[in-house]
Each structure stands twice: as C-alpha cells, then as structure tokens.
C-alpha cells in the first residue's frame, strides 16, 4: 500500500499520473482564493445532509466545526498546501479529514465537484462583485462632489477633438459619472441574475438523496436554485457577463483617462495630476507623466483580453461539465482585481488633480459661437437651414479677413442677411451661450444642478451620501 494521497476521482485508475499532467491539471495555485466560499458552501451542505437524515446531528456538528477550523487556518495563513491538493475542494477535504477523521468522508455524499465549484464561484463572485460595485459608487460620488464644487468653470467642448461649443467643466465630469451610474446599475442587475444556486445538482443528473435545495438556497443567501441540473453544472454565462461588464466599465475608465491625458498635456494645460498619480522620466527631469491614466487605459485591453480568451474556451464546450471550464477562474479573478484597483485609482486621480480655469477659458474662441449666431437668426424667424449657411458665410468672412468672428460689425453681417441688428452683440458671450442650453440634459447651470441632484439622490439611496 502507498501513503500517497488519493485523488477524489482515482478509484478506477491504477497507473501513475504524469507529473507534468498533474501540474497541468492542478488549479490550487489560483482557486485557493475561493477557500472561504468553499467552506461556507460545505457547511451549508453538511446542514442539509443532517436535515435529510443522511448524517447525524453529531456528525454535522463535527463537520461544521472542522470546516470552521479549516477556514480559520486559511485566513490566518497557517493552511499548508500539500502534494495531491489539486484544487481548493481537494485541499479542504483532505485537511478536514486530518482534523476530524473519517466522518469527513461523508461530506461529499451526493455532491460532485461539478456543482460544488459552480456554487463556490457564484458565492465568491457575488461577494467580490459587491465590493467592486461599492468602488463604482464611490467613484461617482467623488465626481459629483467635484462637479458641484467647480460648477462655474467653463471650457471648450469637443467633437472630433476639435473645439465645438462652450460647456461647463462640471458638465464634462458628469458625462462620465452617468456612464459609471449605468455601469453600477448593470452590475446590480448582474449580481441578482447570477445569485441562483447550482448545489444539489450532482455531477449532472441531479441529487440522489432528495436534498432540500430550497433550504440550501436560503442558507447560502441565493434567491432561488437552478431548476435544471445539466444547466446548473455547465453554466458559466455569469462569468462571461461579468467579464463583459468589466470590459465595458474599463472602456469607460479608459475614455476619461484619455480625456485627462490630453487635458494634462502642455498644449492644453487644463489639469495637472497630483504627484501621487504621476511619474517622471529617467532621462528628462522636466517631465511629469500621467502614468496612472496611461495604465488605466492599458488595463482596459487586459480586461477585454480576459473576456475574449474565455469566450474562445467557452464556445465549443459540449453539454455539462468539461475540464475546459477550469479556464473560467483566472480571467474572473484577474478582472475583479483589475477593476477594483482601477476604480480606486480613477477616484484618486479625480479627487486630487488640480484644474486651471483660466487656461480653459483662454481656449474658448468666438468661432465656437457660430451656432449661436445661427440661433440668433432663428429667433428672428429665419429657418435654421438658412441660418446655418448664413453663419457659415460669416465664419468664412472672418477667416478671409484673418480676424475673429466677433470682430464682424453689424454692417458686415447685414450684407449676409437683413435680420441682423445691434443686439447681435449679445451673441458673443460664452456664458450666455452656455445658459441658453437650459433644456434638461444641457450645460446650463440649472440643467447641471439637476444632474447633480439626480445623482446625489441616486447615491443617497445607495447609502453613499
């Protein structure tokens, strides 16, 4: 007889496993982070076995006590991984046996690692996604607070990276806050959607001892159990959905990072990052590089790569559990870690950067009021399609004279249309232009304040304000 640890699946095998295959097959080095979920799921399962009379009350108490000790060893860093611990489930069951003896062997009655790992992953992701969600909401809160504080700062708004119309700096900030609010709502919906229980499905065909799955679901905080055992053990849509959510959220982070990288350049100089989120050059002492923002932009590709890689593994898997599904955990873990750090770094950048309102205002130019000139004529009763062309002709006139649009006199403008009068001078005010855009969603102060109040109300319901 050998003293080598037995594989959970090794009963019908007599030959030794290739050591390289053993290492290739093992997942303990990354799935060990699900130790708490695995123990918590097993504790609930022990209670369900006892409730069904499959094990005694005393045996249940032994299992619960032993699993609690195993979990404590992991949390205190005392757990020792041994040869043969191919995954977190094997490791925990082996250690449980060392602590309480042969009764540990009863814990797996009717259960498969197929429904066990699916349960562990949902438990783990539910908790971690909730932490990530809190970071999203904190980022929104930071952005809203800054928008409220700097409400009167105005800047150029851009399309195609060309100066377009004047806007409030707060309006720009809130455009990103609304993206993140959508991200938060999507994640809340996703957490609710995947909060269903696979446990009690066995390997694929269901549970032979009629385990109380409703009890298990309630014990573990799931809103329901999955009603088809084949689906329960094979479904990883929740991983795919989370990876898509992470990719989209990182895309939104990447976009604000790109904006701020541009705005922090010497050519713009609208903002300056705090030293805590910048680095220097190894050669050029004058440089202050926005490395935090560039890393955020780069990490977006990393998360998207996790999603696309997993989808390629997932797409060809036949029904129920296949070992390909071991490839679901590392991208999920990495996406959680990357999102958690990225959201906190983004909040740090936004809360500490300095802005330069004078630089923003100096970048405004009269040609950005060309639309306002067209709208002036609209108020005089001229159809917009005509006023657009008239305003364009005024822009060309100013360009031909190598001057500013606002340098054109009333007499100049009257040559383009007789409706121009002395009051056209009111058009050349950036503040007036901004305040005229006062419909809900616009950049006028009243509209921006409405956005701030809406987001603050939403955050208050989420207990962040």
Rg (CA), the chain: 31
Look up residue 60 and give its two tokens.
């249940």
Look up residue 72 and give its two tokens.
């404590």
Residues in contact with 250: Cβ distance below 8 Å, sequence separation at least 6, in sequence order: 296, 299, 300, 303, 304, 338, 339, 342
Q: Taking Cα atoms as reference points, which of 181, 183, 116, 109 lies closest to residue 144? A: 181
Candidates 14, 76, 102, 160; catalytic one: 160
The most distant pair of C-alpha atoms in the chain lies apart, rounded to whole Å, by: 107
- Residues 320, 114: contact at Cβ < 8 Å? yes
Instruction: Measure the CA–CA gap between 119 and 99, rounded to whole angstroms.
Output: 24
Is the Cα dihedral 13, 19, 21, 22 positive or negative? positive
DSSP notation for 187-208: HHHHHHHH-EE-TT-TTTT--T
- Residue 281 annotated among the catalytic residues of the structure: yes
First and final C-alpha spacing in the chain: 65
Candidates 56, 281, 319, 446; catalytic one: 281
Instruction: Measure the CA–CA gap between 458 and 180, rounded to whole angstroms.
Output: 12
154-159/162-168 β-pairing: antiparallel
Q: Taking Cα atoms as reference points, which of 256, 246, 238 lies closest to residue 132? A: 246
Look up residue 80 and give its two tokens.
């020792």
Q: Taking Cα atoms as reference points, which of 446, 442, 351 lies closest to residue 141? A: 351
Number of Cβ within a 10 Å radius of residue 79: 18
Look up residue 237 and give its two tokens.
């849509």
Look up residue 200 and give its two tokens.
């009690």
Q: 3-class SS at 95?
A: helix
Going by the DSSP 8-state scheme, the letter that residue 220 receives in this structure is T
Is the Cα dihedral 95, 98, 99, 100 positive or negative? positive
DSSP notation for 130-168: HHHHHHHHHHHHHHHHHHHHTTT-EEEEEETTEEEEEEE
Q: Environment class of residue 361 by beta-carbon count within 10 Å: exposed (0-12), middle (13-18) or buried (19+)?
A: middle
The per-residue b/e assignment along 116-134, b for 16 or more CB within 10 angstroms, e otherwise, is: bbbbbbbbbbbebbeebbb
Active site residues: 160, 281
């Amino acid at each position: 007889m050998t003293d080598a640890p037995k594989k959970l699946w090794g009963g019908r095998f007599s030959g030794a496993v290739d050591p390289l295959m053993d290492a290739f097959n093992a997942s303990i080095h990354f799935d060990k982070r699900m130790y708490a979920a695995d123990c918590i799921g097993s504790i609930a399962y022990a209670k369900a076995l006892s409730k069904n009379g499959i094990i005694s009350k005393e045996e249940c108490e032994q299992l619960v006590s032993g699993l609690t000790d195993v979990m404590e060893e992991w949390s205190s860093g005392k757990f020792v991984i041994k040869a043969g611990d191919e995954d977190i489930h094997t490791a925990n069951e082996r250690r449980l046996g060392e602590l309480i003896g042969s009764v540990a062997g009863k814990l797996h009655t009717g259960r498969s690692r197929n429904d066990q790992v699916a349960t562990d992953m949902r438990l783990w992701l539910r908790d971690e996604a909730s932490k990530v969600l809190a970071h999203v909401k904190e980022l929104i809160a930071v952005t809203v607070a800054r928008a409220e504080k700097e409400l009167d700062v105005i800047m150029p708004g851009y399309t195609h990276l060309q100066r377009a119309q004047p806007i409030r700096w707060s309006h720009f900030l809130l455009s990103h806050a609304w993206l993140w609010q959508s991200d938060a709502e999507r994640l809340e919906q996703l957490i609710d959607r995947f909060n269903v229980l696979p446990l009690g499905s066995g390997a694929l065909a269901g549970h032979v001892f009629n385990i109380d799955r409703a009890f298990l679901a309630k014990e573990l905080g799931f809103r329901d159990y999955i009603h088809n055992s084949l689906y329960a053990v094979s479904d990883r849509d929740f991983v795919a959905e989370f990876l898509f959510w992470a990719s989209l959220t990182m895309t939104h982070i990447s976009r604000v990072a790109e904006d701020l990288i541009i705005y922090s350049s010497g050519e713009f100089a609208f903002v300056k990052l705090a030293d805590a989120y910048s680095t220097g050059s190894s050669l050029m002492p004058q440089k202050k590089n926005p490395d935090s923002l560039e890393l955020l932009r780069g990490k977006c590709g990393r998360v998207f790569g996790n999603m696309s890689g997993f989808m390629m593994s997932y797409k060809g898997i036949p029904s129920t559990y296949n070992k390909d599904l071991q490839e679901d955990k590392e991208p999920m873990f990495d996406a959680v870690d990357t999102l958690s750090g990225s959201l906190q770094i983004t909040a740090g950048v936004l809360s500490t950067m300095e802005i330069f309102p004078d630089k923003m205002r100096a970048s405004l130019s009269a040609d950005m009021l060309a639309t306002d000139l067209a709208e002036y004529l609209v108020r005089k009763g001229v159809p917009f399609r005509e006023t657009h062309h008239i305003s364009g002709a005024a822009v060309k006139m100013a360009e031909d004279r190598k001057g500013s649009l606002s340098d054109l006199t009333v007499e100049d403008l009257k040559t383009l249309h007789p409706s121009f009068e002395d009051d056209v001078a009111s058009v050349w005010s950036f503040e007036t232009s901004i305040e005229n855009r006062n419909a809900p969603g616009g950049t006028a102060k009243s509209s921006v304040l409405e956005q701030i109040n809406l987001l603050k109300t939403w955050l208050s319901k989420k207990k962040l304000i």
